[in-house]
Structure 1
């Protein structure tokens, strides 16, 4: 039987066929948007599911031979992945760890996700400001936070979710005894010239972020108070510096020795120094020292007379790639990393000094020369990604100018 269509109907059919053809072939962007919305909705659903419900969905995701490829700037995450698969045996062999260096993190991940090769599902990365601008705002990655931890994790560590916190501390060689009067302005004086080992902030993102944070209103006020305590009068430096924070940064950098290429090198050099030198380095690096070397070090934060701050705390954030094909498995893995069990299993972060969970229910393992997160939160400059993002360009220009005269 022949069906004869009237002219308006024929035109409408042709237009519909053309639209469908464009959407399925030439208009890949539309199709990708639909996939993205589906992935985002799945992550939204995952936030309210129990771990058991997520496990059931994760098994279905992985049934066709898929794996979860995740990149991490900390190698300890590999042990966490192994522990995770032991807890969820039906996912054994499905969580694949890839190491990535801090310097190449976001350029590499951006390129891989844009390629759409399916080689990146999840990331554990530091420097929240770059995570936001290079992955989140561009739509290349999504945030995820489970409702079950809403009361255990402070709001500023929820979106993006901080699965681990790290600190960079002032630590000194105690061969000549303890340093007295730990006021931060002390380290800007001539007596400390070339005595402070500090990785050049233009080559170390977290050191740059630390200095940017010092220019915030909160820390400027505290630095001015420390100035008053040390010098006996109010800070007033005319038009030379925008604030006391900028003066402290400039004078501090002039006292720094930048001849060490890594935090590990700084840690070892301070431990082996002949005299009482100061280092500003990642606390976790002390795990690589021999006991005799560790005994030569004093953590300034543990001494009662510290005036102002004794280091910097930053986070390792979890995010999910926009083309990940296992969102429920990613969500379950993130939940595990946030849990007391996941953070404290044998060989995981909590067994080392310098790693902390944003989950308040997680306490530092006994027998480690370390403190709980609550202690560090009160004595360190804590990363604020929004402030860093808004002020990075201006402060970095100042740093470049200051270092030219170093």
Structure 2
């Protein structure tokens, strides 16, 4: 039985009620919070880390048009349009030559390069300005009574125990968060593919080597030349899972990058000291269903994709679009049709993006245990892709983002 705090415990405990509790203040949680606030639905966002920590996370920055449209729908697109870089194509490298994939000609759309950190900053600033609440550094977050009609969340902050009663909980707290872990194991089915390599990434304040991204398949391994702005570059190299950041000086990194991209780009590469350097493992992961009782999963809490093709943030945006609209429908129209359909609807798009990310990763990377047959198939696929408008159009359609 859950009892109200007594007078003796009131000083060390607090209780409140909101319509929706959102776990996680990354882009998924903040986008959902913005959608609900716009509709007049009260939501509290809980985040275990500090705001500075959340903003300090280095993530991808290629936005599909659907994500751009969502920021515009929320009235938060001004800085994105002023500072973001519209890309109508990208270069695909193979055998020391690059061929441009013309996204606008092949798919009729472009993408926007605008860092996830900047998206998060825009969402944080807007939420603070609106008066909507976010609690950072919320410790020991726990979810309760998910299968009933009155779920609640507990957490601790500054020595005070808090209880938040709510109608629904949105789990937007990432792969390692508490939300998915709160679902009984026998109520979930998880699918996973772990790749036998990682990405060594470097961020530096230098002009990008190209005005559009370069994806390169090379005998020494995959390379990606990306950017965050006209003066900030982001570069990646395929590396072994047991590699160490300390083993890579800046000079060694850029020497290896030059080897993996076409000579003209290698000659134009401007180097500088790294301001961030890290190694990330690659995996594909999906948990089904994305709902358990009154808990709804969104973003990385439900699925992970390798960064090839930049689908992670964009999938989070499509999840919360579906979920936000379903919650608005619940409160405005007293209909649960959208909530009941959420998991199936979201997973249809998720699996298509997972398929594309897996395919693009398999196409562009060298696999250490390949016997030779797989490499020949990869080369045949690249040859077909770069020589067929239909194949290139399929790549472009998936890259710019499938319809919501």
Same fold (TM over 0.5): no
**TM-score between both structures, scaled by the size of structure 2:** 0.27
Which one has a bigger Cα radius of gyration? 1
**TM-score between both structures, scaled by the size of structure 1:** 0.27
Structure with higher helix content = 1
- Say which structure, 1 or 2, has more relative contact order (CA 8 Å, 6+ apart): 1
